[in-house]
Amino acid sequence: MNSELVRIFNENDIIVSEDVELNDIDPFYLLKFLKENNISFVDSEVLERIKLELYNKNQNEFEVNSPQLSTFSGSAEEWSALLSDRYDRLRRILSSNYKIPVSAIGNLKEIGNVNVIGIIGEVKEKDGSFLFELEDPTGSVYCITNEEFLIRDAVVLVKGKFTGKFIMADEIVYPNSFKAERSKSNFDGYGAFISDIHVGSKLFAREEFSRFIKWINGEIEEYKEIASKIRYLFILGDAVDGVGVYPDQQEEIETTDVKSEYAMLANYLSKIRKDVKIFMIPGNHDSSHNALPQPPVSKEFAAPLYQIPNLILLYNPSFLTLKQPSIKVTLYHGNSIHYYVDNYPKFAKMTREDIASILKILLMTRHLAPSFGSAQVLPSKKDYLIIDEVPDILGIGDTHKAFITTYKNTIILNSGCWQYKTKYMAKFNIEPDLGKVPLVNLSDFDYTILDFSNEKIKIFEEGINIKVK
């Protein structure tokens, strides 16, 4: 331990034995813990007990809504049950948000004003207007609207006039998200969001990622106070590059053994100080099936990860509740994003603003893959992609872009990447935002993005508070 730290501990009447190594715990966090618990002497044995106590304390810091999955046959009955669950739950959200009488589509008979809730089906343009089918469990009806932007398969409330054959829609209402403005808490800590590390790729940004780990461990001066207050690290998928994920990938990976990739990843993550709780979900490059909900990578492929005491492996997606402070965080790799880029011309350039606007769609529809085919899903009886409770933070990875902004008081963010441009990225004109880390102050929800792509760490201004279309 360096002389400066010894001096600081001595000034606080705490004696630290010469055999103590503080490489994996923040010394200032330790100092705070020692003072709160009236501990005046620390040797290596005491330090290990403190680490264990901090770890056990952290086990009660969060709750996660994990899916209860069974085996599937892919039968029509299973898909029907999934669709019924989606409709019923989103209908309840709409009914709760907009307390108005609603008619079943199958009961529409009299001409006049109506309110109906259904699933948007096929959409066609006709004479400058848009014709779409709306279906509920009792039947279907065609609606006509001037609204061009319609989300296929979304559950919506349609207000309009029934003509006897179709509905002239005056308003199309999505479930949407309504989050009250947050009040400041006494919690003194930050959450950091990263994704798309791609360990195992020849283009993995080792130097930059190592710089981030040194920073979070308090070994770099820039923004050191923020680093000391990092309490949670969220890893939003594609932690390794995988094998056989895209054409000619073998030319750009260091090994064809995915177990070696996870061993390398574990070597990096194990260096992060132990008072930081790490939550990690998989992505499409990880070694678990891609259908959602996607399970954590198994011990069979990633045994070393299971040896890291402060690492929690979760499903993609995961709906997480931090208890101190009381914050809801939705973690999602972003599997459905490319569908909306490919199928809606307004998002075709896949800018940061485009991706943020797609996240707005997910919150508007209260579903992480609202259009069938936008992501592979399992035919479970319950739809695990519904956003039942509006999150304080919605974070995604996948796109290799970095931004942070808000939509109706929910922070939405994309966490950049740690991989230089691959041939596959070049083919699709993707310019990666390398080494960009969104940070959220969990006390007042102030946020920023730090850029670790150069030796001098700086704020990534162009990714902050971008406009949502």
93 inside domain: no
Q: Does 244 share its domain with 357?
A: yes
- How are strands ordered across the β-sheet holding 62-64? 62-64, 318-322, 327-332, 393-396, 410-415, 402-407
Tokens describing residue 180: 């009250």
CB contact set of 62 (below 8 Å; sequence gap of 6+)? 277, 279, 312, 320, 321, 322, 323
Query: Which one of 139, 173, 207 terminates a domain?
Result: 173
Q: Does 449 share its domain with 349?
A: yes
- Band (pLDDT 50/70/90 cuts) for residue 33 is confident
CA–chain centroid gap for 7, Å, is 41
Q: Does 251 share its domain with 145?
A: no
Tokens describing residue 46: 């005491």
pLDDT, mean of residues 310-314: 94
pLDDT at residue 293 tops 60: yes
Query: Which one of 60, 77, 106 terminates a domain?
Result: 60
Q: What is the C-alpha to C-alpha distance for residues 280 and 100, in angstroms, rounded to an integer?
A: 41
Q: Does 147 share its domain with 200?
A: no
- 63-102 in b/e burial notation, b at 16+ Cβ within 10 A? eeeebeeeeeeeeeeeeebbbebbbebbbebbeeeeeeeb
Q: What is the C-alpha to C-alpha distance for residues 418 and 432, in angstroms, rounded to an integer?
A: 9
Q: What is the C-alpha to C-alpha distance for residues 296 and 302, in angstroms, rounded to an integer?
A: 10
124 inside domain: yes
Q: Does 231 share its domain with 322?
A: yes
pLDDT at residue 55 tops 60: no
- How large a percentage of the chain has pLDDT more than 90? 68
pLDDT, mean of residues 285-297: 91
pLDDT at residue 406 tops 60: yes
CATH code, 346 = 3.60.21.50
pLDDT at residue 68 tops 60: yes
CA–chain centroid gap for 419, Å, is 19
Tokens describing residue 5: 């730290």
DSSP H or E segment with residue 57: helix 44-58
Q: Does 169 share its domain with 256?
A: no
8 A C-beta contact, residue 276 and residue 297: no
Check residue 296 and give its pLDDT. 93
Check residue 70 and give its pLDDT. 64
According to DSSP, the β-strands at 166-173 and 139-145 are parallel
Check residue 404 and give its pLDDT. 98
Q: Does 19 share its domain with 151?
A: no
Check residue 216 and give its pLDDT. 97
Query: Which one of 110, 142, 173 terminates a domain?
Result: 173
8 A C-beta contact, residue 218 and residue 224: yes
Check residue 154 and give its pLDDT. 98
pLDDT at residue 87 tops 60: yes
Per the model's pLDDT, the better-predicted residue between 121 and 242 turns out to be: 121
The phi and psi torsions of 213 (rounded to 5 degrees) equal -65, -40
Q: Does 302 share its domain with 391?
A: yes
Per the model's pLDDT, the better-predicted residue between 116 and 187 turns out to be: 116
Q: Does 421 share its domain with 311?
A: yes
pLDDT at residue 208 tops 80: yes
CA–chain centroid gap for 174, Å, is 22
Q: Does 245 share its domain with 388?
A: yes
285 inside domain: yes
Q: Does 33 share its domain with 142?
A: no
Q: What is the C-alpha to C-alpha distance for residues 356 and 345, in angstroms, rounded to an integer?
A: 15
8 A C-beta contact, residue 394 and residue 280: no
- Band (pLDDT 50/70/90 cuts) for residue 182 is confident
Report the domain count for the chain: 3
The per-residue DSSP string of 94-162 comes to HHHHS----B-GGG--SSEEEEEEEEEEEEEEETTEEEEEEEETTEEEEEEES-----TT-EEEEEEEE
Tokens describing residue 237: 């998928």
The residue whose two tokens read 């990092």 is: 230
86 inside domain: no
The residue whose two tokens read 């990096």 is: 268
pLDDT at residue 151 tops 70: yes
69 inside domain: no
224 inside domain: yes
- Band (pLDDT 50/70/90 cuts) for residue 326 is confident
Inter-CA distances, 161 with 109, 117, 148, 150, 344, Å: 12, 14, 19, 19, 29
Check residue 127 and give its pLDDT. 83
Check residue 427 and give its pLDDT. 79
Segments forming the whole domain that contains residue 353:
190-463
Which pLDDT tens digit goes with each residue over 340-371?
999 999 999 999 999 999 999 999 999 999 99
Q: What is the C-alpha to C-alpha distance for residues 228 and 192, in angstroms, rounded to an integer?
A: 12
Check residue 46 and give its pLDDT. 76
Q: Does 306 share its domain with 420?
A: yes
207 inside domain: yes
Task: Output the average pLDDT for the chain.
Answer: 90
CATH code, 136 = 2.40.50.140
pLDDT at residue 287 tops 80: yes
The length of the chain is 469
Check residue 466 and give its pLDDT. 92
In terms of Cβ atoms closer than 10 Å to its own Cβ (0-12, 13-18, 19+), residue 235 is: buried
pLDDT at residue 1 tops 60: no
Lowest mean pLDDT among 53-67, 181-195, 236-250, 265-279: 53-67
pLDDT at residue 58 tops 60: no
Per the model's pLDDT, the better-predicted residue between 410 and 45 turns out to be: 410
pLDDT at residue 29 tops 70: no
Tokens describing residue 216: 């979070």
- Band (pLDDT 50/70/90 cuts) for residue 18 is confident
pLDDT at residue 52 tops 70: no
Phi-psi region at 210: left, alpha or beta (left = phi > 0; alpha = psi -120 to 50):
alpha
Check residue 59 and give its pLDDT. 58
414 inside domain: yes
8 A C-beta contact, residue 148 and residue 129: no
8 A C-beta contact, residue 403 and residue 464: yes
- β partners of residue 124: 131
